Structure 1
Amino acid sequence: MSFFVSIIIPFRKKNPYLEECLHHIEQLTYKDFEVILLPDQSETYPSYSFPLKVIPTGPFGPAQKRDIGNKAAQGTILAFIDDDAYPDPDWLTPAITHFQKIEVAAITGPAATPSSDSFLQKASGLVYSNRFSSGHCTHRYCPQKQMEIDDAASVNLLVRKSDYEKVGGFNTHYYPGEDTKLCLDFIQQLKKKIIYDPKSLVWHHRRSLFLPHLKQVSQYALHRGYFIKRFPKNSLKLNYFLPTFFTLYMILLLLTWVYKPQIAFIFSFPFILYIFLFIRAIIKENSFSLSAITFMGGFLTHLTYGIYFIKGFLSTELKR
């Protein structure tokens, strides 16, 4: 069975990354699709080889924009991608195969770092794709084996339109984290599956180390900490708590050096092991300079995540 696909891209205004994304969409091997652009305000675009709709939405968040895009979508499959990402030529093809099975509600795949990214962007990508720093989430950033999962990122998410509408779409003001809620709705309400296929690949430009990257991490952590309480089914996992444990340990280590320096060296052994294992994990395939900056970025990522995870966990509500 063939499916018509609606590729939906929410963003604020036209930018070079979006133009790159549209260029690569033209190269897709699966041709039965349309593209729906969702800028804040009306904009003009050149003609492409595919049907293109431009729908000004006003200053809404990505979740609300995607819900607006769904209303205009003609496809039976909705393919969500961000404006700072672009698809591999075969992005849609594996998903079409999976959607032949009615029990599948959504398909996702990795969002890898492009080779064209800057040095500091690549370092950010290494922080995300390294198992030592990202734990069980590395499949989101580099291709791994096909599997069934319970959470997926909306930068690379394809869903069955009928299932999307059954659960009410994203229907949330959360961002980031809107994708966590949608995936949970598919699993809990519809009892359907989400499949991770490494061949459904997109390339995602990273936020540069340090401040842009850490700002993004803080938002991920803030929402995940809150979602532990709000959506525990696919958020209550030990892996998400580890940066907080590490942050608390670092605070205790600092206090030990200040007030109990005679035992501080012994108490430092876990941190020394942390440094050794982290550097060992990233230096195998990368230059010394890239490994060094990635280590610093990873260390600050763990601390930032740990702090904002606690903040989210203690919050009574989150707003965009």
Structure 2
Amino acid sequence: MRPGPAALPKFSIIIPVKPEGDVRALSALSQATYPEELFEVLVAYGRQPSVQRNVAARDAKGEILYFLDDDSLVDPGFLERAASHYREPKVAAVGGPSLTPATDSPLQRAIGIAFTSPVGGGGVRNRYRKSGSARYSNDSELILCNLSFRRDIFLTHEGLDERLYPNEENELMDRLQREGHLLVHDPELAIVRSQRKSYRAYVRQMYGYGRGRGEQTLISGKLKPVSLVPSLFLVYILLLPFLAGGIFLLPLLCYLAVVAAASVAGSIAGRDLALLPRLLLVFPTLHLVYGAGVLRGLARPRYRGGKQTHWEVEIRRVKAFA
């Protein structure tokens, strides 16, 4: 039996977007099957996503904050599914993966395949694929373009750390877990969201992800050794011309073999040979550029560069509670 409206929580859906940017997510939200009187949609316009989300959270009126990106395409029943997990009082956050649409270009699909591969996405690959059933998890499986929090807990913890972007949600979830709160990853809460359209945009994305991880490491004081592996590999590549002896080439040859195998496997899984040359580029780019970003974040975090500029945030309530 479906719970009545009185048994369901109220949701505030929050979408950060650049000034006057297009909000593609609204088209899918218009098909949501959750009771009209139990959810609102706030679009936060600005240039600092962490700040935009925090400002909107303070203005929100729902019990649950559901963060989406401007291009996150949800399933009509996603709020019902998320609500079911919040029946457990210790659950502080619920989210699902971000899937690459089949209609994306070969480059975009190659990026998506790399993210879901053990060679590319590694321990965070479940952010980008449906795998298993709903479970208690951690920040390695949750992603901010499809993530909800209890509003009271979010605000009690002062929301997202505005010094960070990206990785601001990871830092918050780390804090929540240390206090004993539960996080839920539900593969059936998947959204559909396209990957970067150009190689240049992908490079910027990977560099930003790495830099955010480095900055998060400094802020939290908690080092995840696996996050340093790409950086160590980058250092090895840079030092290789100065290392004498063929034995030093062995790690590189092994790496190239692994990348080649993963690229072939990805193109077969994607049923498109056009993916192969792109995967051969995408995998090394992911590792090396991410590694460079981590080093930059550790060495020169942006939040130590002086006073931060806070751009104006405009909140538009495009759908109020009915």
User: TM-score with structure 2 length normalisation?
Assistant: 0.83
Separation in 2 of the partners of 1:202 and 1:240? 26
Q: Secondary structure at the match of 2:109?
A: helix
Separation in 2 of the partners of 1:24 and 1:91? 11
- Please state how far the C-alpha of 1:176 moved relative to its aligned partner: 0.9
Separation in 2 of the partners of 1:168 and 1:266? 48
Q: Is the 8 A contact 2:97 2:143 kept in 1?
A: no
Say if 1:100 and 1:217 are closer, same or farther in 2 by CA, change over 3 A: same
User: Where does residue 129 of structure 2 map in the other structure?
Assistant: 142
Larger RCO (alpha carbons 8 Å, 6+ apart): 2
Say if 1:164 and 1:266 are closer, same or farther in 2 by CA, change over 3 A: closer
Moved more, 122-131 or 211-220: 122-131
User: Where does residue 45 of structure 1 map in the other structure?
Assistant: none
Say if 1:248 and 1:125 are closer, same or farther in 2 by CA, change over 3 A: same
Q: Secondary structure at the match of 2:147?
A: strand
Separation in 1 of the partners of 2:16 and 2:252? 46
Q: Secondary structure at the match of 1:224?
A: helix
What is the one-letter code of the residue matched to 1:30? Y
Moved more, 309-318 or 162-171: 309-318
Separation in 2 of the partners of 1:164 and 1:291? 43
- Please state how far the C-alpha of 1:296 moved relative to its aligned partner: 0.6
Q: CA RMSD in A?
A: 2.2
Q: Percent sequence identity over matched residues?
A: 26
User: Where does residue 254 of structure 2 map in the other structure?
Assistant: 270
Q: Is the 8 A contact 1:130 1:281 kept in 2?
A: no
User: Where does residue 229 of structure 2 map in the other structure?
Assistant: 242
- Please state how far the C-alpha of 1:153 moved relative to its aligned partner: 2.0
User: Where does residue 276 of structure 2 map in the other structure?
Assistant: 291
2:114 maps to 1:127: yes
Separation in 1 of the partners of 2:180 and 2:69? 27
Separation in 2 of the partners of 1:126 and 1:263? 32
User: Where does residue 72 of structure 1 map in the other structure?
Assistant: 59
Cα shift readout 1:192-218 (whole Å, capped 9, x = no counterpart) = 111111111111221134110110110
Say if 1:312 and 1:22 are closer, same or farther in 2 by CA, change over 3 A: same
- Please state how far the C-alpha of 1:264 moved relative to its aligned partner: 6.4
2:39 maps to 1:33: yes
- Please state how far the C-alpha of 1:231 moved relative to its aligned partner: 1.7
Q: Is the 8 A contact 2:127 2:143 kept in 1?
A: yes
User: Match for 1:217 among 189, 193, 206?
Assistant: 206
User: Where does residue 84 of structure 1 map in the other structure?
Assistant: 71
User: Match for 2:9 among 3, 9, 27?
Assistant: 3
User: Where does residue 293 of structure 2 map in the other structure?
Assistant: 308
User: Where does residue 157 of structure 1 map in the other structure?
Assistant: 147
2:107 maps to 1:103: no
Separation in 2 of the partners of 1:133 and 1:316? 25
What is the one-letter code of the residue matched to 1:141? Y
User: Where does residue 185 of structure 1 map in the other structure?
Assistant: 175
Q: Secondary structure at the match of 1:143?
A: coil
Say if 1:136 and 1:269 are closer, same or farther in 2 by CA, change over 3 A: same
Q: Secondary structure at the match of 2:297?
A: helix
Q: Secondary structure at the match of 1:117?
A: coil
Aligned residues: 293
User: Where does residue 53 of structure 1 map in the other structure?
Assistant: none
User: Where does residue 219 of structure 2 map in the other structure?
Assistant: 230
